[in-house]
Amino acid sequence: MKPAKFVLLPAVLALSLLPEMVFAQTDPGVRSDTGVNAGQPLASVTHNANDLAFFQSGLAQFSEHQTVTGDNPGLGPRFNMDSCGACHSQPAPGGTSPASAIFPNVGPNPQSQVIANVIVNGATNTIPYFVLANGPVREARFPFFFDQFGFPNPNAPNGGVEDLFTVSGRADAGACSLRQPSFNAARATNNIIFRIPTPVFGAGLMANIDDSTLLANRGAQANNNLGISGTFNHNGNDGTISRFGWKAQNKSLMIFAGEAYNVEMGISNELFTQDRPLPGEDQFGSGLLANCLNLAGTGYPEDITHSDGTSASTVTSDVGLFNAFMQFLDQPTPSTTSPGGAASIANGRRLFSAIGCALCHTPSLTTQPSKLTSGLGNAIANLFSDIEIHHMGARLADNVSQGGAGGDQFRTAPLWGLGQRIFFLHDGRCSDLLCAIEAHESNGGEATTVEAVFDQLLTPSQQQDILNFLRSL
Amino acid sequence: MHTPLLRSLRPLALSAILLALTQTAGSWPAPQDGGDFSQSPQARPLPTDALMVKGAWASASDSVTPLPEGGSLADNAYTNQYFALIYVLPPGWTQKYYGPPPSDSGYYVLAQIRPAATNKVTGRGTILIAAQDLFFTLVPAANAFEFINYAEGKLQADYKVERALTPVSLMVAAFFSAIGCALCHTPSLTAQIQPYPRADHHR
């Protein structure tokens, strides 16, 4: 037995005089004067005809709308939307939630239009209360199962995705009749949380950072005087660091594509081979009813690799094409001058590091060599994330545990492309950067001291520099 | 003959009625489709802004001896029994938010202190009291001197050392240094502490 040996680290961060408030700092809003600065393939992909063709087939597949039967079959029986590109569209395919009135005017929340666009039948489905035309695309989860009396049971954690819509009543869905989950009851009992889409620009770079690089970065941030110490989420299959999703719960883009195809769109595939019931139907019920199975009439899995294909893109499964599209997407291009001018952005970048935001939002990490395309290898990913999960405290906690991440642990949100994003934080609760920053302080959160420094020690004009910097990304 | 049988039937019938009654009392249908459906008219909401699913939580579970993270703030002082520490504060400072749980690399946020909203006298600022268990640290340091020396060597461009590392004598060996940046001064007193021997929480 060795006695514990501690170092005690009291730190005082103080400023005795606060300069006069000259103006109030404001979020400059979605950057619109520099065109759309994301959504292009890597330059090395553009220069290789085969890779470019593969990327473009992936883009087409990502944007395609699926139906229950027909040319693009497999939708449902439960689903959140009928196309990857519907949810991932701002400011370009691969991005996040759109909004009709905001640059580049992609359109209203597509989930609010599913009845009007005849994707679901309005006689059998209603639009859930949290889906608003001018709000973000949302995925819903119930942190806890309901008990036999209809109350959420804190001893029965759920956390799985509750698909919003059913194919019931669609002309191509036969006799399959399913109810939507009890969203109103979940709301009344505070047993519902949301997730908004994360953008996938630069995702291939993120996939190609070696664990050793991530661990070294963690070690380099360890000696801070700001109360921060993250950890990593690991996947259960090979035990390496997982990195995708709000809690870094998924290992690879291929796995995410397979999961999203099944969970978001109800299309089984070679990674996730069964049609997916709701979490409760799977755990306590009898699964999906027989007349809701094999609705496409093709057998399972609904998406497969085609042995009769004649080119890379006709052989590859849809999931493989989604993967190709996402891994070849370049990172967003930041602006050096907009908003607020070069001096303000440069100062904001400096302050962002100086006050400790960069202890979690690591400005850049270098990738390992890539066999896929040269642009992914030994490249600098300006992701502004350490890919660690951090305790964010009770205010942001969603009480969903995924892999090693507990109810209040989230992956440091990568900030690349932030300047052209509309909704922030895992549930899209903010559309103003100050709201997102403010949410960083909370009981049990690691970012509380850094947020307090932002709030209390920076002058309004220094805060404005940070906001300009963030919107330049 | 008949009578004994009737007698034993009566209590049975009674319990059957009771059972039926309990079922009607909770008359909303049991969710036959599993836990994704509820028609309960009597909503009993879960608390808001509360962490209910903790996940892995690095902490000792000993409830008898003091824990490193078990300090408290009262009467203008932060007190921690485990470290035998009393940290006296200027009046009007308070802990608005408590810190995160101990990390798996042995880092403890003990207190995060700032001027109370009502405090108009002192300047703005925050005081963070933290501790690092050197057994688990990711920092290549075996003692307080190496620890603080390493920190100074890794300073970002924005920071500069305002006062060089100097040993000061306390009950325990301690080192003082001051680091400044564009907007703050971070005097830090780093003391190495060996708490009294106890059932070792490193196993």
pLDDT digit string (tens) for chain A, length 473 residues: 345 677 777 777 765 444 444 568 999 999 999 999 999 999 999 999 999 999 999 999 999 999 999 999 999 999 999 999 999 999 999 999 999 889 998 899 999 999 999 999 999 999 999 999 999 999 999 999 998 888 899 999 999 999 999 999 999 999 999 999 999 999 999 999 999 999 999 999 999 999 999 999 999 998 888 999 999 999 999 999 999 999 999 999 999 999 999 999 999 999 999 999 999 999 888 899 999 999 999 999 999 999 999 999 999 999 999 999 999 999 999 999 999 999 999 999 999 998 999 999 999 999 999 999 999 999 999 999 999 999 999 999 999 999 999 999 999 999 999 999 999 999 999 999 999 999 999 999 999 999 999 998 889 999 999 999 999 99
Q: A179–B37: do the CB atoms touch at under 8 Å? A: yes
Q: Do B157 and B128 fall within a single domain?
A: no
B195: in domain: no
- Compare all CA atoms of chain A with the CA of B194 and give the residue at the minimum distance: A5
Residue B162's identity, in one-letter code, is: E
- At B3, the pLDDT band (50, 70, 90 cuts) reads very low
The answer to whether residue A260 is domain-embedded is: no
pLDDT of the residue at A103:
92
A163 contacts in B (CB within 8 Å)? Answer: none
Which carries the bigger pLDDT value, residue A202 or residue B16?
A202
In a domain, A261, yes or no: no
Residue to mutate among A2, A7, A78, A463, with most B CBs inside 10 A, is A7
Q: Please give the C-alpha separations between residue B144 and each of A3, A218, B152, B160, B178, in angstroms, as whole numbers.
A: 16, 20, 12, 20, 15
Looking at the structure, do residues B127 and B150 belong to the same domain, yes or no? no
Verify that A234 and A369 share a domain, yes or no: yes
pLDDT at B148 > cutoff 90: no
The verdict on residue A292 lying in a domain is: yes
Contact A91, A118 (CB under 8 A): no
Sheet containing B85-88, strands listed edge to edge, beginning at the edge strand earlier in sequence:
B72-74, B77-80, B85-88
Q: Is residue B30 part of a domain?
A: no
Let me know if residue A93 belongs to a domain: yes
> How far apart are the C-alpha atoms of A89 and A98, rounded to whole Å?
6
- The length of chain B is 203
Residue type, B113: I
Q: How far is residue A40's CA from residue A203's CA, in Å, rounded to a whole number?
A: 12
Concatenating the DSSP letter of every residue in A114-164 gives TTTTTSS-TTT----TT--TTS---EEE-SEEE-TTS-EEEEEE---EE-S
Same-domain check for residues A408 and A430: yes
Give percent of chain B above pLDDT 70: 60
Segment among A75-89, A421-435, B159-173, B176-190 with least mean pLDDT:
B176-190
Q: Inspect the interface and report whether the beta carbons of A444 and B150 lie closer than 8 Å.
A: no
Q: What is the CATH number of the domain that holds A15?
A: 1.10.760
Distances (CA, A) of B77 to A377, A398, B176: 53, 34, 21
Residues A69 and A23 in one domain: no
Chain B contact for A350 (CB, 8 A cutoff): yes
Q: Are B100 and B127 in a shared domain? A: yes
* Closest CB from A15, A17, A406 relative to B55: A406
Same domain, B99 and B127: yes
B34/A280 CB distance under 8 A: yes
**Cα–Cα distance for residue pair A367/A23, rounded to 1 Å:** 41
Residues A209 and A279 in one domain: no
> Are B126 and B83 in a shared domain?
yes
pLDDT for position B83: 83
- In angstroms, the CA A336 to CA A341 distance is 8
- Asked if residue A339 has a cis previous peptide bond (ω within 30° of 0), the answer is yes
Place of tokens 């079922």: B23
Q: Is residue B95 part of a domain?
A: yes
Say what the pLDDT of residue A223 is: 83
Q: Does A159 touch chain B (CB under 8 A)?
A: yes
* Same structural domain, A186 and A284: yes
B126 and B149 in a common domain = no
- What count of CB pairs under 8 Å joins A to B? 318
- Mutate one of B23, B28, B38 to test the A interface: name it (highest A CB count within 10 A): B38
**Residues A185 and A208 placed together within one structural domain of the fold:** no
Contact A427, A320 (CB under 8 A): no
Structural domain for B155, as ranges: 1-20+143-190
Contact (CB<8Å) B49/A395: yes
Residue B4 — pLDDT band, cuts 50, 70, 90? very low
Interface test with B, best of A1, A8, A390 (most B CBs within 10 A): A8
- Alpha carbon B124 to chain centroid distance? 24
User: Is B74's pLDDT higher than 70?
Assistant: yes
Helix/strand/coil percentages in chain B, nearest 5: 15, 30, 55
- Tokens 């890597």, located at residue: A42
Neighbour-count burial of B78, counting CB atoms closer than 10 A to its CB (0-12 exposed, 13-18 middle, 19+ buried): buried
Domain contains A1: no
Structural contact between residues A283 and A145, judged by C-beta atoms closer than 8 angstroms: yes
Residues B150 and B122 in one domain: no
pLDDT at position B134, please? 86
The answer to whether the beta carbons of residues A309 and A316 sit under 8 Å apart is: yes
Torsion angles phi and psi, residue B87, rounded to 5: -115, 110
Express each pLDDT in B19-33 by its tens digit.
Answer: 333 333 344 444 456
The answer to whether residue B72 is domain-embedded is yes
Q: Which of A267-281, A439-453, B65-79, B97-111 has the lowest mean pLDDT?
A: B65-79
Asked if residue B57 belongs to a domain, the reply is no
**Per the structure block, which two tokens stand in for A18?**
């606060």
Q: What letter does residue A370 receive in the DSSP assignment?
A: -
**Region of B17 on the Ramachandran plot (φ > 0 left; ψ -120 to 50 alpha; else beta):** alpha
Residue ranges making up the domain that contains A86: 64-198+269-305
Q: Tell me how many domains chain A contains.
A: 2
Does one domain contain both B88 and B116? yes
In a domain, B37, yes or no: no
Token reading at A422: 């509309």
Inter-chain residue contact B53 with A279, CB threshold 8 Å: no
Number of domains in chain B: 2
CB atoms within 10 A of CB A334: 21
Q: Is residue B106 part of a domain?
A: yes
What confidence tier does B8 reach under pLDDT thresholds 50, 70, 90? very low
Q: Which amino acid is at A93?
A: P
> CA-CA distance, A409 to A247, in Å (whole number)?
7
